[in-house]
Structure 1
Amino acid sequence: MRRYQVRDVVGRITTPLLVPDPADEQFFPGQPRELFDLLPGEKQIMGFTEELGANWHCQPTGRRLTHTAMLDYLADHLPYPTA
């Protein structure tokens, strides 16, 4: 695990990406913004706040809110099948 660094491969990400960024995160503070800043292509960062009930480590475990945000993002960025 220690050898793996996302900064070594982040430049190869070509798909639009939503980066969740929970406020007050205690296990990986600042890492969502760091990833966002390294991404070369289309991207969006989404803050998960205390007002949403998703600060601290609640965003990663608050699956309903996270899934809704991610699915909305995908619906806006993936091609709609025409056939």
Structure 2
Amino acid sequence: MLDYDFEQFCPGRPRQTYDLLRTRRECVKPTKAIGAQSHCSPMALQQHCDGVFDRLADVLQR
């Protein structure tokens, strides 16, 4: 679950969804300090994609 600093479209929703999940889960908070704030971190696309695709690779390898 990604929960961005300064989320403008769905503030608080990622944490609510995370709390409802009943499986292995992880909540990542991309921050302004690395330029990854705001919905989908448009100023830090590489960090966003690295996090998402690394997690997918981990899950799909099982």
TM-score, normalization by structure 2: 0.80
Aligned to 2:18: 36
Shift of 1:58: 5.2
Question: Structure 1 residue 79 and structure 2 residue 61: aligned?
Answer: yes
Percent identical residues: 34
Higher mean alpha-carbon deviation, 22-31 vs 71-80, is at: 71-80
TM-score, normalization by structure 1: 0.62
- Number of residues of Structure 1 aligned to a counterpart in Structure 2: 61
Give the greater-gyration-radius structure (CA): 1
Q: Which runs of 5+ in 1 are unaligned?
A: 1-18
Q: Which runs of 4+ in 1 moved over 3 A?
A: none
Give the structure with the larger strand fraction. 1
Question: Structure 1 residue 64 and structure 2 residue 46: aligned?
Answer: yes
Question: What is the CA RMSD across the aligned residues, in angstroms?
Answer: 1.8
Residue 2 of structure 2 contacts residue 14 of structure 2 at CA under 8 Å; is this kept in 1?
yes
Q: Which runs of 5+ in 2 are unaligned?
A: none
- Flag the 1:68–1:42 CA change in 2: closer, same or farther, 3 A: same
**Distance in 2 separating the partners of 1:58 and 1:49:** 11
